[in-house]
Amino acid sequence: MKFVFFGTGNIAVGVLEELSAAHLVPALITTAPDKPAGRGKKLTPPPVKAWANMHSISAIQPEKLDSQYLKNLRALKADVFVVADYGKILPKELLKIPKHGTLNMHPSLLPRLRGPSPIRTAILNDDKNIGVTIMLMDEKMDHGPIVAQRPIPPPQDWPPHGRELDELLAHGGGKLLAEILPTWLRGDIVPQPQNHDLATYSEKIKKEDGLVNLAYEPRKNLLKVRAYDGSPGAYAFFEKNGKKLRVRITDAHLDENGSFTIDRVIPEGKKEMSYEEFLRGTKTQSRS
């Protein structure tokens, strides 16, 4: 089996780990260019590039998927392309290069939660009906026929932190891919069209979406903190020492009375600390 893998973030790394464990190693990895990160804006490789370097697999980072890039892909004569958490739209002519098409691992039970943020949206919607889908890609977003699909039991401690669910579904999707790829290449799977009438969608998450209104419904506040775990992060504004302060809420829970209780925070310009430590010593008021 000769395949090219397209992926960028930690979900893609989880998929690669499961493929590698099944002795399915890509001939080439295409990932996103390095980007500035952290306070120092140091140029940093995406997680998939770091994984590829660690495993001595060739990885390229094209700014554009132009004609020269497509020519090089054709020269590889790959059997199939595999896509997971890549972050760029793939042109129609690229999808049709390999004999067996281009497969995508999408971390939802399609046609539910198409779009860029299905995992975090499931948490935000308090939706435990989670799973993974392997889809034969076409030119429309998350629209192609289904090759394989598997429900994943939700974590017992629901709602989970976003990064926890990322990892669970990444590895679940990677295992399913590893199982079906040989069967797919033999031509023993007939892809089934999605019921587009049942499609639902997730939206691209923006930084401002993380704002928590502490006077809002407690359960919805908790879902937002858990859903936006890691990135973009949930936050609220407080008034401390007469100044408005942006405070990131990294963890919270509902107490026995169902009240929203903050556990951990990162005040603007500070390191992570307990909420009690943040409140200690000075009078603080919520600005939500």
pLDDT at residue number 284? 56
pLDDT at 221 over 70: yes
The whole-number pLDDT of residue 98 equals 97
Q: Is the pLDDT of residue 68 over 90?
A: yes
Are 115 and 203 in contact by the 8 Å Cβ rule? The answer is yes
Q: For residue 141, give the 3-state DSSP assignment.
A: coil
Domain around 47: 3-198
Name the pTM for this structure: 0.93
- Quote the mean pLDDT of the chain: 94
pLDDT > 90 in the chain, percent: 88
Average confidence (pLDDT) over 83-101: 95
Q: How sure is the predictor about 44, in pLDDT bands with cuts at 50, 70 and 90?
A: very high
CATH number of the domain that residue 52 is part of: 3.40.50.170
**Judgement on whether residues 25 and 8 belong to the same structural domain of the protein:** yes
pLDDT tier at 127, thresholds 50, 70, 90 = very high
Instruction: Give mean pLDDT, residues 181-188.
Output: 97
- Of 177, 198, 219, the one marking the end of a domain is 198
CATH number at residue 236: 3.10.25.10
Taking residues 195-220, report their average pLDDT.
Answer: 93
Domain boundary, last residue among 165, 198, 231: 198
As a whole number, mean pLDDT of residues 128-149 equals 97
Considering the domain architecture, whether residues 59 and 173 belong to the same structural domain is answered as yes
Residues 228 and 187 in one domain: no
CA 262, CA 253: separation in Å to the nearest integer? 7
Strand residue runs (E) in the chain: 3-6, 28-30, 35-37, 42-44, 59-60, 80-83, 102-106, 131-136, 146-151, 234-240, 243-254, 260-267, 273-274, 284-286
pLDDT tops 70 at residue 281: no
**Boundary of a domain, candidates 173, 198, 223:** 198
The pLDDT assigned to 39 comes to 73
Counting runs of H as helices and runs of E as strands, what totals does the chain give? 8, 14
The answer on whether 185 is annotated among ligand-binding residues is no
pLDDT at 40: 76
Query: How confident is the model at residue 41, as a pLDDT?
Result: 82
User: How many structural domains are present in the chain?
Assistant: 2
- The pLDDT assigned to 29 comes to 98
179-193, 237-251, 265-279: which is most confident: 179-193
202 is in an annotated binding site: no
Give me 15's structure tokens: 């998929």
- 109 labelled ligand-binding: yes
**Per-residue tokens: 272:** 């992570």
Q: Residue 242: its pLDDT value, please? A: 79
